[in-house]
Each structure stands twice: as structure tokens, then as C-alpha cells.
Amino acid sequence: MMNATRDYQKLAKRIESLATGEWRGELAGLVSGYSFFALRRQVAPDAPTILLTAGMHGDEPAGVEAALHWMEGDDWRSWPVNWLVLPCINPSGWSQDRRTNAEGQDINRHFLDPDECPEAAMVRRVLGHERFLLAMDFHEDSDAAGYYICETKTQPPFLGERIPQALSGIMPVADNARLDGRRARGPGWVLRLGRRSAFERRRQWPLAFHLTACCTDHFLCSETPTHLPLELRVRTHLTVLQEALRFAVKQPPVATPIS
């Protein structure tokens, strides 16, 4: 391992402590000498499953913190769904505060041919052929003035239309005409219709393409602006996750008993 700017062993201990409680931890393997973790929570075998991923790019720390805050808190208990969480896809990049992995690869370009990239291969192996009601990937954008979400879904209704209201009073929403290189469909909202024929024209697949092609009908990439305080970015990711659950989960949330 290179000299680290963040302590991954400390992060690993937080993850391992979750696995001693109501979450089941899986050490999926090692990538560049770092442990690669997956955590699961099952409420019922026939309940839908939500996939939550973070830490694709090591210089986007709010996503990792948001994923851990979600599991360390109690809000997940309110939802009648199973969970699969990959809290830090790029441990070497996170440790070095660097976008790429230890090989200098942008992991989010290698999900079509994952043998070229150990982290992409690990993610695909963990996911297998599992289906997800919803998949959300926490990211950050160093160039963005405000929050935005990239949504991949073939047909309405769409979540992105609800984001400005959900974040009112919490986080400014980007109002650019183009976001992430694509035309914005509305404030803070980029929509990709998820047609596989369009994906197949691309040699480099991000996680969004693989998941939409194989694992889910609804993918969300949540993007916070890195110039704002970390705590605010974490809160924003979690607010959007709650809004996404209200959108996707048909059953109302279960009241959590007060102990």
C-alpha cells in the first residue's frame, strides 16, 4: 500500500462493527491489499432489495460517510425492504484521496469488461444476477455549484422531478442547462432512458449501464458539490435516499417503536 492520507483500517473497523449487529458483513476479497466489504440486511426473503453503493471515486468522501451513517442510524428500519450496501468500492483511492484506483484506472469505466479492473470485477461478482427494486450510487462533483441527480429509467414516473422540493432549505440545486455532459431535464436532474441499444454503442460502461442492463429498472446517481461542508453533503445524500424510498417502495414505512 502507498502512504495513505486517510486511515482505511479505521474505516474498516467501522464497517466490521456494523457486521456484528443487525447487518451481515461479507469480506468479498482483497483489492490492492485492501479489504472489500459488502453488507446485507434481510427483513424477509420475498421483500424487494435496495442496492446502495458509494466510494467509486476516492476523492468523493461524502458518499462513503453517507452510506455508513445510513447503516449506523435507525432510519433504514422504517422500510420493509432488504438491503445490499457496498460502502467503499475504491478503498485504495479513498485512502489516497484520489479519484482512480491503485492502477490509475477510473473504476466507473470498466463494468463492461471487468477483468481489466479488480474493483469492477469484485462489484460484479458480489452482485451476481440479483435484481434490485432500486439502485443508488453516491457520488460527488468538484465542478458543480449545486446538487443534481442522474436518473436511469425507461419510463415515467421519474424521481428527478421531486428533487428540488425534497432539498428545499437543505442544499442548493444546480440549475445548469447541461449537467454531467448531458442536457438537464429540469433543475438538478439528468435523465437517461436506459435503452440497452444505446449502451451497446459504448465501449466503456459505468456502473449505471451494467445495473440497468442486468440488475434493476431504476438507477440513481446522487451528486453533491464538494465545495460545501461534508456534513451538509452527507445529509443531502441521505435526504435524497429517503425521497427515493418514498418514491419506489409501495408500502408505507413502518413506524419504529420508541424504546
**Nearest partner of 56 among 125, 1, 107, judged by Cα:** 107
Q: Residue 55's domain spans which residues?
A: 8-248
Is 101 within the bounds of a domain? yes
32 vs 4, 93, 94, 122, 151, CA distance in Å?
A: 13, 10, 12, 12, 31
pLDDT of residue 196: 64
Radius of gyration of the chain from its Cα atoms, rounded to whole angstroms:
17
In this predicted model, what pLDDT tens digit does every residue of 118-160 receive, in sequence order?
999 999 999 999 999 999 999 999 999 999 999 999 889 999 9
Percent of the chain with pLDDT over 90: 83
Asked whether residue 20 is domain-assigned, the answer is yes
Residue 254 lies in a domain: no
pTM of the predicted protein model: 0.94
Does 79 reside within a domain? yes
Span 3-59, pLDDT tens digits: 568 999 999 999 999 988 899 999 999 999 999 999 999 999 999 999 999 999 999
Q: Please give the sequence-ordered ranges of beta strands (E in DSSP) within the chain, or none if there are none.
A: 24-31, 34-41, 49-54, 82-86, 134-141, 148-153, 178-179, 182-183, 189-192, 218-225
258 part of a folded domain? no
Indicate whether 259 belongs to any domain.
no
- Number of structural domains found in the chain: 1
C-alpha cell at 213: 442492463
Q: What is the 3-state secondary structure (H, E, C) of 41-96?
A: ECCCCCCCEEEEEECCCCCCHHHHHHHHHHHHCCHHHHCCCEEEEECCCCHHHHHH
Average pLDDT score, the chain: 92
Q: Is 68 within a domain? A: yes
Q: Kindly state whether residue 172 falls inside one of the protein's structural domains.
A: yes
**Does the pLDDT value for residue 259 go beyond 80?**
no
Q: Within 13 Å of residue 66, how many CA atoms lie on the same side as its CB? A: 29
- Residue 195: its pLDDT value, please? 67
Q: 99 or 196, which is more confident?
A: 99
Is 63:161 a contact under the CB 8 Å cutoff?
Answer: no
Tell me the CATH number at 12. 3.40.630.10
Tell me the pLDDT tens digit for each residue of 221-251: 999 999 999 999 999 999 999 999 999 997 6
Assigned C-alpha cell, 157: 414516473
pLDDT at 115: 87
